[in-house]
Structures are given as C-alpha cells and as structure tokens.
Chains A and B, each alone.
Chain A
Amino acid sequence: MAIIIIDYGIGNLYSVANAIKKVTKEKVYITNDAKKIKLSNRIILPGQGAIKDCIKELKKKELYWLLKEIINTTNKPVLGICIGQHLLMESSEENKGVFGINYIKGIVKNYKNKNFKIPHTGWNIVYKHKEHQIWNGIKSGSRFYFVHSFYVKTRFKNNVLGVTEYGGKCANVITYYNSVITVQFHPEKSSSLGLKFLKNFINWLP
C-alpha cells in the first residue's frame, strides 16, 4: 500500500514526490510498474509539456489502459495535476486535437487571446465553486502557482470545485468525479497552501 506517482518519462516528478513526502508518512513511489500501481492506495498523475507526447508515452508504457481500467472499475483516489488534469478529460485542442482518457466530461481549450501572456505563469486566485474536502483549511480566493497554455472547461457544472480567471476566460481549475480529482495549478509548488491541498487529497476517502 502506497502512494504512486506515475512515471511515464515526462514531467517533474521529483517536485511532486518531495511535496507528498512532506505531508504523509505513507510510502511514496515514482514508478511505471503496473503491479505497484494496481496495489497502490492512491495515484497521482502528473504531466508537463505537450499532451500528445504524454499520451504517446502513457500508451507506449501500457499505462493508458491500466489507468483507464483502474479509474473505471475501482474507487482508488486519483489526482491529475496540470497535463494530468487535461489527460482525464474527453479531448484537448492542443496539438491540433487529441482524445483524452475521457473520465470527466470536459474539453481542454486554447486561450486564444493575444492580449495575455501565454503560458499563464505565476500565482493566480482560485475561487471555490463547490464545497469539498479538498478545500479543507483553504479559503476561496487563495493564490496557487500556475504554468499552462490550455485550460479545462467541463460540460457539467457539478464537476467543478474551483475556478480561475485568466485571458478573459473562466477556467475550471479544480474538477472531480467520483474518486478522481484534477487540478490545473501545481499544488507541489504552491507553498503551504499547496501542501494543504495535497494533504487534503491524501486524507480524502471518496
């Protein structure tokens, strides 16, 4: 039993692992070993860079279907961070359009606003959209660290836990469905509130 950070060769997994270790005494592994992933009690799906490459690597390492199976057939809590959030949606406009794992009904969209700097980089305000354990001890209107060029818009409002305004758009930066939570910002880089967010995820029993 452990917390698994899925290693598919992309993303800064060490930052995530460092932060998780700070808030739990449970074992934390960075791995792509299917057996370990199946046996874990929590999964973190990070991601950085281009979504097409992320999907390609997940498929190459046979993690794509494994993840899909785990999410659809178990109650294991999963946290998707940044591109990890995007991967769990239906599809993304990035890289001329790609399909995602399609667990949460939502589209990853292009900001398409020349008056704003892209990537959206820095500390922005997250407003609470809906009560959830992930918000424990965190005030609506707190700042978290973002760095991304595409944003999530879900089909259904009841999947949304938090929103952030940028580029004239209201992005769904925390979303959830059953035992899956997704987040656009980087809790592992958001100082004490980010650690609180991760701790809430680890204490969460869906």
Chain B
Amino acid sequence: MSLSKRIIPCLDIDCGKVVKGIKFENTRYAGDPLKIAKFYNEQKADEIALLDIKASYSGKNNTIEVVKKIANEIFIPLTVGGGIKTCKNIRELLNAGADKISINTAAVLNPKIVREASDKFGSQCIVVAIDAKRKTNKNIKEDWEVLTYGGRKNSGISAIDWACKMVKYGAGELLITSIDRDGTKRGFDINLIKTISQRVNVPIIASGGVGNLDHFVEGIKTGKADAVLAASIFHFGEYTIDKAKKYMAKKGISVRF
C-alpha cells in the first residue's frame, strides 16, 4: 500500500478572503488565503481546496485572483469549487492555475456539463461534489438525497445513484459531504462514504463532520475513503496537518510526510 491517503484542508472563500477560519495560533494568517495556503503547504497538505461559499461565480470574481496568487507560489494540486456553471468558467479557472474543478449544483441542473467538461479537460480535473442528506423514512432501506445550493434545496435524487451516474459521465473524483454531519464534529457519515466508495471505481474524498483525528482514521479505514477533507479542525488550530498525519501513520495508514 504505497499510494498515500490524502489530507485536504478546505478554505472557504468569500470576496477573496478566507472566512470561518480566522482563529490560528496567531492572527497573522487570518483571512489571507495565500498565507493560509502557504501555512498548509508547509505542513505537507496533500492538496488544497478553495470553495467560494457565496457560489456567486462570475468572470470578474475575486476567486480567480485568489487562485492565481496561490498557484504562483504553491505547487500542490489546487481544487476550486463554488458556483461554477460552464466550460468557460472552468477554462478561466484552469488558466488561472487551478488543477481540479469541483462541480455541484450545476451538475444537478445540467448533468451534461460533467460529460462536456470531462471530454474537454479530462476526467482528472473534474470533481463532482455531492451534498447528501440521510432520508429519515425508516421503512425504506438506508438512503441519502442529493441537496443543491449549498444544502438549501432538495433535488429528489438518490445520492448513491447520482454518484454512479456522475462517474459514468466522466467525473474523475467524487467529493462526498454529509449535510447531516457538516459542522457537528461527530465524524463522517461512514455508511454514506462506504456505500459510495464500494459502488464506484474513482477516488472518494470524504467531507463533513470531522471533530477529531480518529474521524480521519475511521473515514479511511471503515469508510474506504481515498482522501479526507476538513476545514474548521485545521483552521481553528486544534490540530495541525502534520499531527493528523502522524496519528494516521500510527494507525497503519499510508501518508506522505
């Protein structure tokens, strides 16, 4: 097992500034995406994800400037998401230095965008992000629904079926976020991650709910995730990426130091 499992810190961006993660050990990193990205890079983050939380992507959006700044100085994969709708948007972000583009709501509204984008730019740069919410009906077997618009809108689509469909359409990777767990610090929705990971043959990034280092281990060992994404656990300085990797290595997970 030589391919390492990845840790991906996620920066939530609003108007060109990192939000949510303001509380570093010292405040000099506060808000500046480049400084925060550099800090994570020094800690051996395996990738960096940038999410434009207002999803208000437009050509003039600050996100492009943020991507340019980071890509000029940090040489690890950079995934960018939030409100991306067209191949033109994707082209602009790739030209700015992004490596992978994460598509969420736009894929639900128009699944063909995934096929078109993966044909044009290659599957390796198209990540489909799925926000999934557990269905509460006890009479049916365990299932999840895809939500759009940052978890605000129901789509009626089964997350498992959707994951399989998106892979057929050319997604090179899936980013699975549990809306039930997001922000709760109770850990990933392991059954959700595991069910999808076993059904598809592309790498799975688990997201939503990390509160301690055991959650990473659980997501990878039990959930069969290939990568784990987290925001607040790193932003607030509770844990460093290095510490997380050491812990995972101790639990027998292959990581990159």
Residues of A that sit less than 8 Å from B by CB:
10-12, 14-15, 18-19, 22, 48-50, 114, 117-125, 143, 145-149, 164-166, 188-192, 194-195
User: Which residue of B3, B120, B123, B256 has the most chain A CB atoms within 10 A of its CB atom?
Assistant: B3
Digitize B53-86: 1 where CB-to-A-CB distance is under 8 Å, 0 elsewhere. 0000000000000000001100111000000000
A145 touches B2 (CB 8 A): no
B203 touches A121 (CB 8 A): yes
Closest to A22 in B: B75
Question: 16 A–B contact pairs at CB < 8 A?
Answer: A14-B95, A14-B96, A15-B99, A48-B125, A49-B123, A117-B204, A117-B226, A118-B202, A119-B123, A119-B124, A119-B202, A122-B226, A124-B3, A146-B3, A188-B75, A191-B44
Question: Which residue of the partner chain, among A50, A124, A145, contacts B122 with CB atoms under 8 Å?
Answer: A50
Digitize B107-128: 1 where CB-to-A-CB distance is under 8 Å, 0 elsewhere. 0000000000001111111000
Question: Which residue of the partner chain, among B71, B120, B122, B172, contacts A121 with CB atoms under 8 Å?
Answer: B172
Within 8 A of A (CB), among B193-224: 201-204
Question: Which residue of the partner chain, among B41, B97, B123, B173, contacts A14 with CB atoms under 8 Å?
Answer: B97
B75 touches A122 (CB 8 A): no
Q: A15-B99, A189-B77 are in contact. Are A121 and B94 (CB under 8 A)?
A: no
B4 at the interface (CB under 8 A from A): yes
Q: Which residues of B contact A14 (CB under 8 A)?
A: 71, 94-97
Q: Which residues of A contact B3 (CB under 8 A)?
A: 120, 122-124, 146, 166
Give Cα A176–Cα B33 distance, bound, in whole angstroms: 39
Give the Cβ gap from B157 to chain A, nearest Cβ, in Å.
Answer: 24
Give Cα A49–Cα B77 distance, bound, in whole angstroms: 16
Q: Which residues of A contact B103 (CB under 8 A)?
A: none
User: Which residue of A19, A118, A145, A194 has the most chain B CB atoms within 10 A of its CB atom?
Assistant: A145
Q: A12-B94, A165-B2, A189-B75 are in contact. Are A122 and B123 (CB under 8 A)?
A: no
Give Cα A123–Cα B201 distance, bound, in whole angstroms: 18
Question: Which residue of the partner chain, among A114, A121, A194, A195, contacts B226 with CB atoms under 8 Å?
Answer: A121
B46 touches A123 (CB 8 A): yes
A124 touches B4 (CB 8 A): yes
B248 at the interface (CB under 8 A from A): no
Q: A50-B122, A145-B76, A191-B76 are in contact. Are A122 and B4 (CB under 8 A)?
A: yes
User: Which residue of A120, A166, A191 has the most chain B CB atoms within 10 A of its CB atom?
Assistant: A191
Q: Which residues of A contact B76 (CB under 8 A)?
A: 145, 189-191
Give Cα A12–Cα B172 distance, bound, in whole angstroms: 16
A190 touches B94 (CB 8 A): no
Q: Which residues of B contact A146 (CB under 8 A)?
A: 3
Question: Which residue of the partner chain, among B6, B41, B96, B203, contacts A119 with CB atoms under 8 Å?
Answer: B203
Question: Which residue of the partner chain, among B4, B71, B95, B204, contacts A123 with CB atoms under 8 Å?
Answer: B4
Give Cα A146–Cα B5 distance, bound, in whole angstroms: 13
Q: Which residues of A contact B95 (CB under 8 A)?
A: 14
Give the Cβ gap from A91 to chain B, nearest Cβ, in Å.
Answer: 20
Give Cα A49–Cα B94 distance, bound, in whole angstroms: 14
Digitize B172-187: 1 where CB-to-A-CB distance is under 8 Å, 0 elsewhere. 1100000000000000
B130 at the interface (CB under 8 A from A): no
B11 at the interface (CB under 8 A from A): no
Within 8 A of A (CB), among B201-257: 201-204, 226-227, 256
Give Cα A11–Cα B41 distance, bound, in whole angstroms: 24
Q: Which residues of B contact A188 (CB under 8 A)?
A: 75
B6 touches A122 (CB 8 A): yes
Q: Which residues of A contact B97 (CB under 8 A)?
A: 14-15, 18
4 A-B pairs besides A15-B71, A19-B75, A189-B99 with CB distance below 8 A are A10-B122, A123-B3, A148-B124, A189-B77
Q: Which residues of B contact A123 (CB under 8 A)?
A: 3-4, 6, 46, 256
